[in-house]
Every structure is written in structure tokens, then in C-alpha cells.
Amino acid sequence: MALTKRQLVEDLAKLGVKKGDSLMVHSALSALGTVRGGADTVIDALLEAVGPEGNVAMPLMTGNGVFKIEESPSNVGIVTEVFRQRKETVRSLHPSHSVGVQGKDAQWLVKDHVKQPTAYGKGTPYHKLVELGGKVLLLGVDQDRNTTLHTIESLAGVPYLKTITRQYVDVDGKEKTCTIHDMAGPHRDFIGLDSKFRKAGVMEIGKVGTAVCRLIDGKGMVEVGLKAFADDPASVLCDNANCRDCVTQRALIKKHKLSQEDFTLSAVSDEAGDSLDDLLKALEDEGLSTVELRAVDDREVVDFAEGALAVLRKTLEERGFSVSAISTKSVDPDPEQMLSVAKALGAKALVLPYDRFDPACVKQAKAAGVEILLENRTELPEQCEEVLAAAKSPVVGAAFNPLGFAIAGKRPFLKAYYKGKLKRFVRQLYVTDGTGEGEATLPGQGNGEVKELLSILRCRSFDGFVTIRAETGKPEAFKESAKAFWKLLDSM
């Protein structure tokens, strides 16, 4: 049997819609069942449910063409398009997220939408309706259709929001360009917020016709959403590793976190990816823009010819990457050759084992503006301190390897760093961990005291490099090591 306006009004009242309410409505006509009179009847029922003292608003979003307030159709459902065409509907001027309103506050709600810096943040109809004490009504649709959730993202200032431009025709008939900040990205898991709204008691669920509907208190929804973002900026991003949208947005969150640190996060090239493209993609996914070059495409970087180094540097710069250091797997590295490669790639440093340090290279390194960082492998802390002190040069420092000291039977933090003299020389910390028996583990799961080292370096405003290095050398291990690193950092 077809639904009538009276039945729809009764169902809306049971859901909690009251006279004087201001509603932001998202709908799917087909979810309601057969409605006598179709979209027009649904609109009439909404207007009757809130009465003349209330407001009914709907997003009237459009495509990417030039927006014309009188002509551009809504692309978010038949109910919204019929609502747009009604002469009583007042539409906001905005090229991406225009809103149509009928009700006593319609003019105020839509006023100056295009003048706001964002599409749905402060000063927009979406935020104004919340300030008015309004509610969001989802008629047969879920939270993924709830545009006001973008308002919360904007208010929270989540790092993955972007800036776009759109064209529109103004009231004088002139075509203009609008810069829109805090624009939401692609996929998000807004459905995951549903349970939070239920638990907080800010949402009622019931049926209107055959549609499962949600009526959400606007201010309560914003409060719950802001808390969720404060607890975790990625709270509406999914954990699907194959969802490029969410992986990319998580990377922007990580990048933002790193921008607030004094240190620069890096990773060893051949451990992040087998090919240059794979490794850069893996680093981008972790929010990194700095890399320690050891091998690329199964070739040691120190063996690259001059032309190949120039191509590599150009590719890195085009992708927005800089080089933290040059290192090698060779047991007998040539410091002069490494220095030449470091200079060609614009690297800040080269990493050598202590037993391959040649004091004769210090003058060359200083002239080239490149540091020489000495990495402990089997050396005791006292041996490292002796070499560094003897060098007597500001261009010679320590690449602190926690796993190396753990294998040497020394406590990396308590003995090698805290009670020793190495702290004066540390310019790089490798995020490595393992047991005293030499078995590599994920950061924070061995005897490397990695968390303690990270914490004390942050206390000292350490502005050197923190470099993720997965000892197995496999890309899968790098992802796990990076995940463990972020877990440690987030726990501080």
C-alpha cells in the first residue's frame, strides 16, 4: 500500500521530529517504499512535521561544472532536486555544497555561503543549522550521506583536508572562481561513527515507511565527533590496507605529526621497496619525505655512475624527497667514494661503521657540507666515545644503533646513552630493536630501549634524523617496523 503524507508525518513524529525543528535532510526516496505523490509528498510531510516555525534544509550539491544558482541541478537524489525546483526554496550560492532551505530562518541560513572559507565549516548553512539547535535527519540513508560530518572534520582541523577551486556565476552574472578550504577527501568510514552517536544518546533510530531512519541532535553530534577526532585524527578512516584513499589520508595525518617534531623521520631505501617507485610510494604512505639511500633497484647507490646519480636526484626532487644520508652494505666501504656520491645526491651525511672511519676524510666532508656519521655494530659505548672524541670535528657524529649495543651486551639507553658521553655526538638514531642474542625484533619489542631513546631525544629537541630500518631488509618488514614506530610515538 502506498504511503500517504499523513502516514509520513506520523512516522516522523514517532522518530522524534517536533514542531519548530530545523532539519538537515538526507534522503533516499526508494528506501521509504511506495509513496503516493513521490518526492513532493515527502517534502510536504517534512514541512508539515516542523511547521511554520521550523526549517527544512537539504544539500543541493552539484557536479564540477560552472555553478549557476538557478540552473545547476542537485545530484544527491530526486527529493533534493524536486525541493530545489520549488519556488519557496531559497538556495545558497556555493559551487560545490549549496543548500536549499524552506522555513523562517531560510535567508539567514543561506546568506554569504560562498564568502566563507570552507564549504561546510563555520558560517555555512551546515554549521549555522547546528548553532540553531538543528537536527540531521537521515531518511533511509546511513552516515556516509551525512554532509554535516564534514563540518566536524573542518572544525577539528583534521590534516587530510585539502583546498580546491570551483567556478560559479555570481548575482551580477559574472563568472568567478571560488577557493574552498578544508575540502573533504575521498572515502571515509563515517559509518563507524554511528555506534558512537547511539552510545552517546544523541541519535534516535526508527522507521519512516520502510526506511530505517536516524534523527541526530546537531550539537550533540558535533560534540561526539570532535571528541573522536581529538582522540584519533584518523577516527573516520578505514583500516583496509588496499583502500588507497584512506592510506593516503592517514599519510597526511602522519606528515602533520612529523611537522610538529624537531627530528626528521627517514628510512633506508632498499628496505622500504624493491624498486624506486615502490620505495617512494611506501615512504609516502608513512608520511615521509626523506630517505637514506643504500640501494635502489637492487644496486648499491655508491656504485651508480655520475649520470645515474643525476637522474636519481632529479626523480627524488620531483617527488618531493630529500636524502638524509648515504650508506652501503659493503664490508669495506670507500669513504671518499661515498662522500662523492653524497655530494652528488645532496645528502646531508654518509654513514660508516666505526672501523672504516678515516680521519683524512674529515676536511673533505667539511668542505662538501656533508657530515660523517659513525654507526656502532659490535663496538662498546666506550670505544665509540673514544673515536668520536679523537675526531675533534663538528662534522663527525654518531649514528646510534640500539640493536648494535643490545648485541654488545650493553643497555642502549641506560648505559650507552644516559650514563655515557655519546649523547653529545648523536646526530641520527636508527629505529632498530632486538635481543641480546642478536635476534631482530620490531621496535619496542626487544632490548634496544627504543622508546626511552626516542623520548629522551624529544626532550632535548633533537633535530637530527630518526631512521626506520627493518633488519630483515624486506618491504613487508618495513611496514611492520613503521607501524611499530608510530605506535611508540603515539604512546608518548
Q: Which pLDDT band, with edges at 50, 70 and 90, does 439 fall under?
A: confident
> Tell me, what's the pLDDT at 438?
81
Average the pLDDT over 289-311 and give the result: 96
Grid cell digits, residue 384 = 665509540
What are the CA-CA distances from residue 436 to residues 378, 417, 449 (Å)? 11, 17, 12
Hey, what domains does the chain have and what are their CATH numbers? 5-231 (no CATH), 261-490 (3.20.20.150)
Q: Distance between CA atoms of 11 and 4, rounded to whole angstroms?
A: 11
pLDDT in tens, 209-267: 999 999 999 999 999 999 999 999 999 999 998 999 999 999 999 999 999 999 999 99
Q: How far apart are CA 431 and CA 427, in angstroms?
A: 13
C-alpha cell at 329: 652494505
d(Cα 150, Cα 156) in Å, to the nearest integer?
10
On the question of pLDDT at 436 being above 90, the answer is no
Per-residue confidence (pLDDT) for residue 472, from 0 to 100: 58
What is the residue-averaged pLDDT of the chain?
95
Do residues 388 and 398 lie in contact, with contact meaning Cβ atoms separated by under 8 Å? yes
pTM of the model: 0.91
pLDDT band (50, 70, 90) for residue 474: low
Single-letter amino acid code for the residue at 110: V
**What is the sign, positive or negative, of the torsion defined by CA atoms of 438, 443, 446, 450?**
positive
CA distances from 145 to 27, 140, 142, 269, 422 (A): 9, 10, 6, 41, 56
Mean pLDDT, rounded, for 143-162: 96
User: For the residues of 43-93, what is the DSSP string, one character each?
Assistant: HHHHHHHH-TTSEEEEE----SS-B-TTTPPP-S-HHHHHHHHSTT-EE--
pLDDT single digits (tens) 378-398 = 999 999 999 999 999 999 999
Q: What is the mean pLDDT of the segment spanning 152-162? A: 96
What is the pLDDT confidence band of residue 471, given thresholds at 50, 70 and 90? low
User: In what helix (H) or strand (E) does residue 342 lie, and over which residues does it extend?
Assistant: helix 335-345
